Amino acid sequence: MAPRIALFHATQAAIAPIETAFAELWPEADCWNLLDEGLSHEIDRSGGLTEALMARFIGLAEYAAQTGVDAILFTCSAFGPAIEECQRRFDIPALKPNEALLEAALEAGPALGLIATHPPTLPVMTAQLEALAGEHGRAADISPRLAEGAWEALKAGDREAHDGAVVAAARDVGDCDAILLAQFSMAPLAARVAAEVTAPVLTSPHAAVRKLLALLGGA
C-alpha cells in the first residue's frame, strides 16, 4: 500500500511545486492537501508567530495526524517553532519544509545565498541554517536577501513582478557556493534564477520528496 502523506500549506502557491515534485519522483505516494491561507495572512498582520497562531497551526496539524497518515510535510517556512512542537508531539515523521534543502546546502559549501519573498520567513530560515551548521560542526556564511515586493505581488496575482524581484535578489547575492530559494512557491523559478547566476540553485520540493522516500522506505 502506498504511504499516505498530508501536505500542510499556508499559501496556495506552495501546492503546485510540491505536487510536481511528487509526480516526478514518487507518483505512487498517496498525498492530500490541507490549506489554511489565513495562517499567512495572520502572521503578516501580527509580524510574527503569536501564541494564538501556534495553537491554531498545531490544532490543524493534529487533525491531519489523526487521519492516519504516514507522514506530514509542512510547506510553510515561516512557522518553524510550531512545526518543531508538532515534531515533539507526533510519532510519525513531520518534516519542516526546508530540512532536506538545508542539508543539501551545507554539502554545497559554507558561502550560501538565501532568498525569500515572505518577510517572516527570512529570519526563521537563517536561524535554522545557522543551527544546522552548528550541529554538524560546519561553518556557514549566509547572505540573506528579501525579494522586495515579491510577496505582495504574488498575493495580487502579478507573477511576473514576483519573479522579477526574486531574480533581482539572487543577482544581488554575489559569489557563493549555492543559492537557496527558501519557499516552495519559489521553486518554479529555479531555471530562470540559474540562468542569471553562476552558483547552483537549490529548491525545497524535490529535496523534501527524496527525504520522505528515504524515511518511509520508498524505492
pLDDT digits 0-9 by tens, 78-118: 898 999 999 999 999 999 998 899 998 999 999 999 999 98
In the chain, how many H helices and how many E strands?
10, 8
**Bridge-partner residues for 143, per DSSP?**
113
CATH number of the domain located at residue range(s) 4-97+206-215 in this protein: 3.40.50.1860
pLDDT at residue 143 in the model: 96
What pLDDT score does 6 carry?
A: 98
- Tell me if domain 4-97+206-215 and domain 99-203 are identical in fold: yes
Out of 2.40.30.10, 3.40.50.1860, 3.40.980.10, 3.40.50.620, select the CATH number for domain 99-203. 3.40.50.1860
List the chain domain ranges: 4-97+206-215, 99-203
- To the question of pTM greater than 0.75 for the whole model, the response is yes
Residues making up the chain, counted from first to last: 219
Among 209, 46, 118, 146, CA closest to 57? 46
Bridge partner list, 33: 7
Residue 187 to residue 49: CA distance in whole angstroms: 24
- How many CB atoms sit inside 10 A of residue 60's CB? 19
For the chain, report the end-to-end CA distance as a whole number of angstroms.
Answer: 13
| C-alpha–C-alpha distance, residues 47 and 26, integer Å | 36
Nearest to 149 by CA among 164, 127, 135, 170: 164
Give the tens place of pLDDT for each residue, 106-151: 999 999 999 999 888 888 889 989 999 999 999 899 999 999 999 9
* pLDDT, tens digit, 9 for 90 and up, residues 34-55: 999 999 999 989 988 999 999 9
